[in-house]
A and B are shown apart, each in its own frame.
Chain A
Amino acid sequence: MTKILIRGAKVLGGEPQDVLIDGETVAAVGTGLDAGDATVIEAAGKILLPGLVDLHTHLREPGREDSETVLTGTRAAASGGYTAVFAMANTFPVADTAGVVEQVWRLGKESGYCDVQPIGAVTVGLEGKQLSELGAMHDSAAGVTVFSDDGKCVDDAVIMRRALEYVKAFGGVIAQHAQEPRLTEGAQMNEGVVSAELGLGGWPAVAEESIIARDVLLAEHVGSRVHICHLSTAGSVEIVRWAKSRGIDVTAEVTPHHLLLTDELVRSYNPVYKVNPPLRTERDVMALREALADGTIDIVATDHAPHPHEDKDCEWAAAAMGMVGLETALSVVQQTMVETGLLDWAGVAERMSFKPASIGGLAGHGRPIAVGEPANLTLLDSAYRGVVDPAGFASRSRNTPYEGRELPGRVTHTFLRGRATVVDGKLA
């Protein structure tokens, strides 16, 4: 088996240590380890993290292979330091049966760049009317535990209640895209000062907050757990904070773009900034950062949403919603959370690896960097500074809001069970 010695990396941002990988596992952690016949990676000054886990990725396959495939999406994930991604169910066909989730899971195995854990749809065809075969998806080879109609909200309170209750039988979780549909008809951007000026249909914060409030109360009532996708407003933070203080089993995620960008950018009418939920205000951004720091928001998830050029190179209203994010997520977190002093690297590991893996019930990921653990690792050059150039993306799509922007940090190596998927910043 191949042996690799990572020499002198700051493990979780702590003191420099050597980490020896032997085969698929970590064989030794310490200082002054003997390289022996191992390949040595000099990692002085770099940060070693557990392989990142994304609870919210759109891989588009099956159905929209022009935007992304499992292969291109997992290559993008590896480039961004991820070793596992959860693939959202809004594909064509929708991942609402054991057959489709197994197909996605198998494509992930074949890709070899990153483990792919399918998310199953809560309702048939994401239509919000009839529960999908949640149990069958859980029992399939894919072993689905996370269910979501993401892209759409499970807005019927009874369906949501039943879904929450039903998945208790096998420890599942419902991940809600919180968007009250009537309040967001024709919505194009955050409702507020900027939308009033631009004359774009408003997506009010209360449309997110009212669903979150309802769902945490439902979760409490039926004693189940709920996960809130891409929480985006200061008000949502307060509701989740209240729910947690009350002992409700709720977890929440925030995207990198909601940690950095505001609706002021929409003044450009450039659809690269069109995303759902929409970019909010500076006040929301600051509240999200604080909530991620204090643990009210549990994790960072990318909501990586690839779209082909023609779906963005048009007028705002006609453009698709979403941004790619796998390849820039860690850099944005470094800039918004680490360099602002809100979070240390151990905190980043918690929010981008340990916790997402545990919410999603994914064994073998989000594990400590310790002897005997699977060697899923990410090595980051945090001193790096560079301008984002989407031409270099591994994703099939280029719809990044960061083009031309300087972001810190660069993943130099990613290891999936001891095998390098990224070496010196390039896909292996």
Chain B
Amino acid sequence: MLHLSGGSPRTPGHLISAADLSRDDAVLILDTAEEMARVADRPIKKLPTLRGRTVVNLFFEDSTRTRISFEAAAKRLSADVINFSAKGSSVSKGESLKDTALTLEAMGADAVVIRHHASGAPYRLATSGWIDGVVVNAGDGTHEHPTQALLDAFTMRRRLIGPDAGLGQDLSGRRITIVGDVLHSRVARSNVHLLGTLGAEVTLVAPPTLVPVGVESWPCEVSYDLDQVLPKSDAVMMLRVQRERMNAAFFPTEREYARRYGLDGDRMARMPEHAVVMHPGPMNRGMEITAEVADSDRCTAVEQVANGVSIRMAVLYLLLGGSEPAVTNNATARTEENK
């Protein structure tokens, strides 16, 4: 039961790509996540909404953070959760995505949250006819990670507008800078699309080796000079840079990378006072971000984790959702819980 008004045109009923979300759908998800966030403040952090539904976390690639976030979200909506780690099992070599999908289908999965090392695997899962359930992309290769982009947008809206004032609002006119390994980053890809849809002006900053060929078709600016962009940024999103990129000659040394593209206290001081620093985690302290910045109250990394649960609750609710409202009042929720 799709509650998103337009859904995604290419994969209706699924969430595969942030690029598929309309402005209204994205705002609906953010608003729903605000409702969900209130549940986290209650003594009993649970809603009966998805009781009896089964959500499978199908992870072909390790990501404890993302898996736990989806698991917490599903459980707070009272869904049954099955964690299926395909890494290191027979699946990693012999058994194919298709075989695994057929197994999940036989187990009656209502939603499959999939993390896969291959770009396009969730799209394939959603469009191949192998399963009937809802597919949620939890990160595929270097393609997309739409719920991460949604939680980033949610975090920005809260910080730059405020939780309640933000309801119904998008990010029109906000200037967002994304810094680092754009080439290999599904987070950057999803954010560029979503933030553009929400009306923000996005600038990518990276060494030219870490910007994809073809980026000129993206709805954003590209700069190689961080210092020039910082004073005009409302939010600066630092991407994780893997040290092995150095060995593949994407940049000469860690020191040089940090010097030109790392965010330290001096650089942070060039940002406008209200501007926030974001990071999808886990952070390489001393590489893309210094401890001073990471631990400052302008850095939203910890809230992003908490917001991730709210966003994923909203997504699961909207894609799988019952006909009842997402959040009932406290008394009802407690009664449900005590049954």
Contact = CB atoms under 8 A, between A and B. Distances in A.
Interface of A: 188, 191-202, 204, 268-270, 310, 313-318
Given A192-B213, A195-B212, A313-B98, A200 B119 contact: yes
Contact of A316 (B118, B213, B215): B118
A193 B217 contact: yes
Contacts of B189: 197, 199
27 contacts: A191-B213, A192-B213, A192-B214, A193-B216, A193-B217, A195-B214, A196-B212, A196-B218, A197-B189, A197-B218, A198-B120, A199-B140, A199-B142, A199-B189, A200-B143, A202-B213, A269-B123, A313-B128, A314-B98, A314-B124, A315-B97, A315-B116, A315-B121, A316-B124, A317-B118, A317-B119, A318-B118
Contacts of A317: 117-121, 141
B119 A199 contact: yes
Contact of A314 (B96, B186, B216, B218): B96
A16 B217 CA distance: 52
B239 to A, nearest CB: 14
Contacts of B201: none
B144 interface: yes
A196 B124 contact: no
Contacts of A310: 96
Contacts of B140: 199
A194 B119 CA distance: 13
A141 to B, nearest CB: 41
A209 to B, nearest CB: 15
A192 B214 CA distance: 5
A196 B219 CA distance: 12
B7 to A, nearest CB: 18
Interface in B184-233: 186, 189, 212-218
A199 B98 contact: no
Contacts of A314: 96-98, 124
B214 A318 contact: no
Chain B, interface residues (CB within 8 Å), range = 20 to 34
Given A199-B141, A199-B186, A315 B124 contact: yes
A200 B213 contact: no
Interface string B101-133: 000000000000000111111011001100000
Given A315-B124, A318-B97, A196 B118 contact: no
A44 B212 CA distance: 55
Contacts of A192: 213-214
Interface string B124-163: 1001100000000000111110000000000000000000
A197 B186 contact: no
B118 A315 contact: yes
A317 B121 CA distance: 8
Contact of A197 (B123, B127, B214): B214
A315 B120 contact: yes
A198 B96 CA distance: 21
**A195, A197, A201, A202 interface centre (most CB from chain B within 10 Å):** A197
A59 B119 CA distance: 31
A128 to B, nearest CB: 22
A204 B118 contact: no
Given A315-B118, A316-B118, A318-B118, A196 B96 contact: no
Contacts of B117: 317
B96 A318 contact: yes
Contacts of A270: 124
A310 B189 CA distance: 30
Contacts of A202: 212-214
B192 to A, nearest CB: 10
A313 B125 CA distance: 11
Contacts of B121: 315-317
Contacts of A199: 119, 140-144, 186, 189
B260 to A, nearest CB: 23
Nearest to A317: B118
A151 B213 CA distance: 25
A188 B117 CA distance: 13
Nearest to B190: A199
Contacts of A269: 119-120, 123-124, 127
A198 B120 CA distance: 7
Nearest to B192: A197
A200 B124 CA distance: 14
B254 to A, nearest CB: 22
Nearest to A192: B214
Given A197-B189, A314-B124, 12 more contacts: A191-B213, A197-B217, A199-B142, A200-B119, A200-B142, A202-B212, A202-B214, A204-B213, A269-B119, A314-B98, A316-B120, A317-B119
A308 to B, nearest CB: 13
Contacts of B212: 195-196, 202
B208 to A, nearest CB: 14
A202 B216 CA distance: 15
Contacts of A200: 119-120, 141-143
A314 B118 CA distance: 11
A196 B97 contact: no
Contacts of B96: 310, 314, 318
B191 to A, nearest CB: 13
A386 to B, nearest CB: 26
**A191, A315, A316 interface centre (most CB from chain B within 10 Å):** A315
A310 B130 CA distance: 13
A274 to B, nearest CB: 11
A173 to B, nearest CB: 34
A190 to B, nearest CB: 9
A290 B127 CA distance: 36
A191 B214 contact: yes
